[in-house]
Amino acid sequence: MMSALLRPERRRDALLPLLTVLLVALVLFMGRLEPLFHAAFPQLETAVYARESFWRLTLDHLVLVLVSSLISVSVGVAAGLFVTRRTGREFEPLVSALAAIGQTFPPAAVLAIVVPLAGFGFVPTIVALTLYGLLPVVQNTITGLRTVPADTLEAARGTGMSARQILWRVELPLAMRVIIAGVRVSVIINIGTATIGSTVGAQSLGTPIIAGLVGDNIAYVIQGAVLVGLLAIVSDLAFERLERRYRIGGEASA
């Protein structure tokens, strides 16, 4: 029975290295596919985006996602921690509402507001992505910490652990899985959303997509979109593995 339960996981485990290799190969050798794109779209003058190398675009894309996620996660986890402590309890509705507003505000609208203030390029994109990715982190941090059983906390206090020891030894380890799940959602969303940064001049995998849309070059759009999609799937699988690590001691691995 165990093996039957394990099988889907095993299959996904095999998928991660496979798709990673595919992603890296496409990033490095997209140019080699030119004959293929030519055959598919014979009307196009240039069939592969070449104004910038794909690895450069991918790298810029990743930097956008990493920087914004890092900010989302630190701010989000800190906010989640704060409102689950005794002193911050009253702020929970406020923090949840703010995070929800960040999520419902379309990133394009954020760009429209931030660009006049901060100019074009990297900064407004980071602001938009950070706001957009905040909600899942905040919510999952709160949920994760809230689901730590009350009797476990009572026992922890009863043994004489300090508040800090309870947080680090009991609450965070028990909440970690749910928190990581929130980070996972946030990062995946931002991998997709980072493409719109290219509308305000931040270089990313959205750049060929925008160029393709503007210049009526469907091949550019496909090249950008496929790489963004692959990047999202690979990250998702990697996060899934990470989450599994935080499964609570010896729990059935299905």
Partner 1 sequence: MIELQGLTKTYGDKTVVSDISLRVERGEFSVLIGPSGCGKSTTLRMINRLIPLTQGRILLGDEDVTRLPAEQLRRRIGYAIQSIGLFPHWTVADNIAVVPNLLKWPRARIASRVDELLDLFHLDAGEFRDKYPHQLSGGQAQRVGVARALAADPEVLLMDEPFGAVDPLTREVLQNEMRRVHEQTGTTVIFVTHDMDEALKLASRIALLDAGRLVQYDRPIELLTAPAESFVSDFIGKADLGLKLLSRRWVHQYQQAATMSSEAPHHWETDAQGHPTCLHGGRPTTDVAPSVAVTDDWTATPGMTMKEALSRMVWYRVGVLPVIDDAGRLVGEVTLEGVMGRQP
Interaction site with partner 1 (CB under 8 A): 149, 151-162, 165, 170, 173-174, 248-251
Q: Looking at beta carbons only, is 42 or 160 nearer to partner 1?
A: 160
Q: Do the beta carbons of residue 26 and residue 227 sit within 8 Å?
A: yes
Q: Looking at beta carbons only, is 104 or 162 nearer to partner 1?
A: 162
Q: Looking at beta carbons only, is 24 or 166 nearer to partner 1?
A: 166
Q: Looking at beta carbons only, is 60 or 171 nearer to partner 1?
A: 171
CB of 140 to partner 1, least distance (A): 18
Q: Collapsing DSSP states into helix, strand and coil, what is residue 104?
A: helix
Position 249, amino acid: G
Q: Looking at beta carbons only, is 104 or 165 nearer to partner 1?
A: 165
CB of 250 to partner 1, least distance (A): 5
CB of 158 to partner 1, least distance (A): 4
Which of 90, 237, 250, 78 shows the shortest CA–CA distance to 172?
Answer: 78
The dihedral region occupied by 120, where left means phi > 0, alpha psi between -120 and 50, and beta the remainder, is beta
Helix 218-245 to helix 206-215 angle (10° resolution) is 160
CB of 157 to partner 1, least distance (A): 6
Give the integer Cα–Cα distance in Å for 190 and 75.
16
Give the integer Cα–Cα distance in Å for 88 and 42.
62
Q: Looking at beta carbons only, is 11 or 164 nearer to partner 1?
A: 164
Q: Which run of H or of E encompasses 14?
A: helix 2-29
CB of 159 to partner 1, least distance (A): 5
Which of 101, 99, 100, 82 shows the shortest CA–CA distance to 91?
Answer: 82
CB of 153 to partner 1, least distance (A): 8
